[in-house]
Structure 1
Amino acid sequence: MRFDELRDRRVAIWGFGREGRAVLKALRERLPSQPLTLFCSAAEVDAARAFDAALHIVAGEPDAATLGRFDVVVKSPGISAYKPALLAARAQGTRLTSGTALWFGENPDARVIAVTGTKGKSTTSALIAHLARALGVRTALAGNIGLPLLELLGQSADLWVIELSSFQTGEAGPLELGVVTSLYEEHLDWHGSRERYVADKLKLADVSRMLLVNGLQPGLLERTAAHPRRLVFGTPEGWHVCDGAIRRGGQAVFDSAALAAPGLHNALNACAALAALEAVGMDALAAAPALATFRPLPHRLQPLGEHEGWHWVNDSISTTPLATLAALESLHGRAVTVLVGGHDRGLDWTPFVEAMRTAPAHAIVCMGANGGRIEAALRAAAVACPVLLVNDLASAVEAARARTLAHGVILLSPGAPSFDQFRDYAERGRQFSALAGFEATGVAGIDGLGIEGTPHD
């Protein structure tokens, strides 16, 4: 959908987060006299009035009848497309769109690499942009990684690297390369089931001229086998990790230990980024040395440093049990106290519990809304390490201090969203950093968002 298709239509915007504000700003620039309605929470009404005094603001969640009064509803990503009210309004003729869909509608000729996946999508997106810029390509980095596409509306780049969440993959337009880094169970509260989550993720394949997927995941390979131009990374014939090196086939290209982002999964993310550049015709071998200057993203296995005799690692982005296991794997051989738990989405913690039975952490501190459920599962499995249950993050940090050996690691890798106690994972990570005794500047924003590089004629 394009902005011109909204002209003289009854349009509502649902959501007043950063995506919603970007939509409002773009609509005002393109259709300045158009009446607009905003659905937002009661707590956001005053801020919305200050943002745009001409808005008609409705506080609270709209029902089907209210939504059905509009020709088009532009919704924010966090609002599930499967809400009954939205489905009913759609059946009555209301069209749904988003900021992502509007950007693609306005930029049909943009050269786009879109990245999705349960884990690794942000780091892989940032790596692709970093490496492309090292080759002198004017590159945009935007999307779910923290910069709505509409904030860059009207700007030009030679390459657009766009991170898409499972909420957004169905909103993308035709693009050159889609990348799927991994596929696990997540966001079941938004999608309604694991099957729908997987199907929504893989909508990216439908709009991708080429598709690059993780060759180490049999289920992902099976589900994407029919794509006419599918490529893989992670397997010996292409970009993969073996014997401590990132390799292209039999050629060792980069020492994995030289990556500032730790862990096998981050080396695999680097393979995905290099394979993506190669797929679109860029010189991945020439770009590979720039991996040494890539700065890890905040809240993703981010080493904060040593304080009070312990090493502190912030992995607040971890929102699945499998992500917590990957974090522990990256710290293999060290005495690690791990802080787990948060908002309960009903995910299965059995793989985590089984892993802790065979290779336990030094200690496990359970917290938050699902902390009791995790603790009970660990105790039922007779995990051979201290297991503690506390209410909140502050208590978890204190418990970790009391249980962790000198020079050991205190790792925040919750395996669950933050919404039971925090606005988002970044706020949780910042509080962890403060509780550990570090300055907030240590968990600053993501490097490289926006457009960087020299424009080409």
Structure 2
Amino acid sequence: MRLGDLADRRVAVWGFGREGRAAIAAIRARLPQQPLTLFCGVGEAAAAHAFDSSLDLRAIEPDTAALAAFDIVVKSPGISAYKPALLAAREAGARITSGTALWFAERPEARVAAVTGTKGKSTTTALLAHLARSIGVRTALAGNIGMPLLELLDASAELWAIELSSFQTGEAGPVELGIITSLYEEHLDWHGSRERYVADKLKLADVSERLLVNATQPSLLERTAGHPQRLLFGHAEGWHVAGGFIHRGGQPVFDITRLRAPGEHNALNACAALAALEAMGFDAAAATAALADFRPLPHRLQPLGERGGVEWINDSISTTPQATLAALGSLAGRQVTVIVGGHDRGLDWSDFVAAMKAHAPHALIAQGANGQRIAKALRDAGVAVEETGDLAGAVARARALTPAGGTILLSPGAPSFDQFHDYAERGRRFAEWAGFDGREIAGIEGLGVR
């Protein structure tokens, strides 16, 4: 469905975040006289009216009847496609689309490398754009990473580095190259089950002409084995990490200690970006030197600096126990106090507990809505853990527990919604409580076309 197909139809936009605003602006640009209804939150109504006073504003959560009154509903990614009201409205004849789907329909000629994965997708997408630009390729960086595709509706680029969340993979395509960085349990509240989450992630494979996947994950290899043009990263014949270096086959090409984003998992993300660049026909070898210039993205193992004699690291983007384990692995050899816990989606923490039993950090602090459940699991396994009600208390306790020269790591392994609007707000507040300026860690560099 293209934007022109919305003409003279009954159209509603659901959601007034950045994606919703981008959808409204794109529709207005192509169809200025098109009547539009917006479903938004009560607290968003005034801002929505200021944004576009011609909108038919409905500050409600729409039910089936409200949605079924429209021919087309353009929904934001955070609204689950499996909401009963949406499913029933579709059955009643309403067509459900999104900004992602509309952009792909409008731009079939774009050379797209689309990245998804439970973890690593943002860093890999940003790395791909950074590396491509370093060798003179005009590149767009957009999608779930922080710039809706519809904001770049008429932009031109040689390469589109697009991040897709699991909410968006079913809305994309066709794609010249799909990249899957990892696949773990995540977002069960949106998808409804682990099986559906995995199936939705893998929808990217269905629309990708070629598919690049992480060879270090056996389950991912098994699930993508049927793709006719599958490529791999993380294996000995291609781009992989071994002996402290990024290799291309048997040739070491980059010392991973030169990466500003720490940890072997970030070196593997770099391999994914290099392999993607190569698969798209560009000179990946010429781009490797630019790895040293890549700045870690905000809230992703982001070194904040030293305060009070200890180092502070913000990994607020960590929303799975596996991500927390990866963060701890990147800090091996340091005296680390790690803060875990947040919104409880019922994820399985047994692997984390087993890892902590085998090799615990200097101190563990569990906080937030699922902090008590995590702390109990750790104590039942004989692992010492402190427990606080919220993140502010955890920061204060971490400061008291961590020796001079040690490291305090926020890597919650859980979403932020129990205490904060999103992971970015959580990271900013953590930085402020540590003694830093939270405003300085907010932005992602390089969004848009360069």
TM-score (norm 2): 0.99
Equivalences for 1:113-262 in 2 at 5 Å? 113-262=113-262
Task: State the AA in 1 paired with 2:430.
Answer: F
8 Å contact from structure 1 (residues 341, 371) kept in 2: yes
Residue identity in the other structure for 2:449: I
| CA–CA distance in structure 1, aligned partners of residues 173 and 97 of structure 2 | 12
Give the partner amino acid of 2:358: T
Aligned length: 450
Counterparts of 1:54 and 1:364 in 2: how far apart (Å)? 53
Q: 2-side partners of 1:437 and 1:369: how far apart?
A: 25
CA offsets 1:375-420 (integer angstroms, 9 cap, x no match): 111111111x3x1111111111001011111111000000001011
Residue by residue, what CA displacement relative to the aligned partner does 1:18-53 show, whole Å, maximum 9, x if unpaired?
100110111111111111111111111111111111
Give me the CA root mean square deviation: 0.7
CA distance in 1 between partners of 2:199 and 2:40 (Å): 29
1:429 corresponds to? 427
Which one-letter code corresponds to 1:341 in the other structure?
G
Cα pair 2:424 2:442 within 8 Å, conserved: no
Q: Which 4+ runs in 1 deviate beyond 4 A?
A: none
| Contact 2:428-2:439 within 8 A present in 1 as well | no
How do 1:30-429 and structure 2 match up within 5 A? 30-383=30-383, 385=384, 387-429=385-427
Can you give the 5+ residue segments of structure 2 that lack an aligned partner in the other structure? none
Q: In the TM superposition, what is the alpha-carbon distance from 1:441 to its structure 2 partner?
A: 4.4
Aligned counterparts of 1:368 and 1:439: Cα–Cα separation in 2: 23
| Partner AA of 2:90 in structure 1 | R
1:118-174 deviation line (CA, Å, top 9, x unaligned): 000000000000000011000000000000011111111111000000000011121
**Alignment map for 1:12-27 (pairs within 5 Å):** 12-27=12-27
Alpha-carbon distance, 1:86 to partner: 0.4
The answer on whether the counterparts of 2:238 and 2:248 sit within 8 Å (CA) in structure 1 is: yes
- Structure 1 residue 426 displacement after superposition: 0.5
Give the conservation status (yes or no) of the 8 Å contact 2:245–2:254.
yes
1:440 and 1:186 map into 2 onto residues whose CA distance is 27
- Report if aligned partners of 1:117, 1:180 keep a CA contact under 8 Å in 2: yes
1:322-342 CA-to-partner distances (Å, cap 9, x unmatched) read 000000000011111101111
Q: Give the letter for the 1:210 counterpart.
A: R
How far apart are the structure 2 equivalents of 1:73 and 1:371? 38
> How far 1:104 sits from its partner (Å)?
0.5
Q: Percent identity?
A: 72
- 2:447 maps to amino acid: L
**Aligned counterparts of 2:387 and 2:259: Cα–Cα separation in 1:** 35
Contact 2:313 2:408 in 1 (8 A): yes
Q: Which amino acid counterpart does residue 164 of structure 1 have in structure 2?
A: L
Which has the larger displacement, 296-305 or 433-442?
433-442
Q: Which runs of 5+ in 1 are unaligned?
A: 453-457
CA distance in 1, matches of 2:442, 2:95: 38
* Residue 442 (structure 1) shift: 3.5
User: What is the CA–CA distance in structure 2 between the aligned matches of 1:120 and 1:323, rounded to whole Å?
Assistant: 9
CA apart distance, 1:362? 1.0
Contact 1:363 1:403 in 2 (8 A): yes
What is the identity, as a one-letter code, of the residue corresponding to 1:288? T
Could you tell me which amino acid in structure 1 is paired with residue 420 of structure 2? F
Secondary structure of 1:338's partner? strand
Helix, strand or coil at the partner of 1:339:
strand
Q: Is the 8 A contact 1:304 1:442 kept in 2?
A: no
Q: What is the rounded CA distance, in whole Å, between the counterparts of 1:80 and 1:419 in structure 2?
A: 16
Distance 1:300 1:366 in 2: 19
TM (norm. structure 1) is: 0.98
Report the equivalent of 1:455: none
Equivalent residue letter for 2:426: R
Residue pair 1:113, 1:178 contacting (<8 A) in 2 also: yes
- Cα drift, residue 175 of structure 1: 1.3
Provide the secondary structure at the position in 1 that maps to 2:408. strand
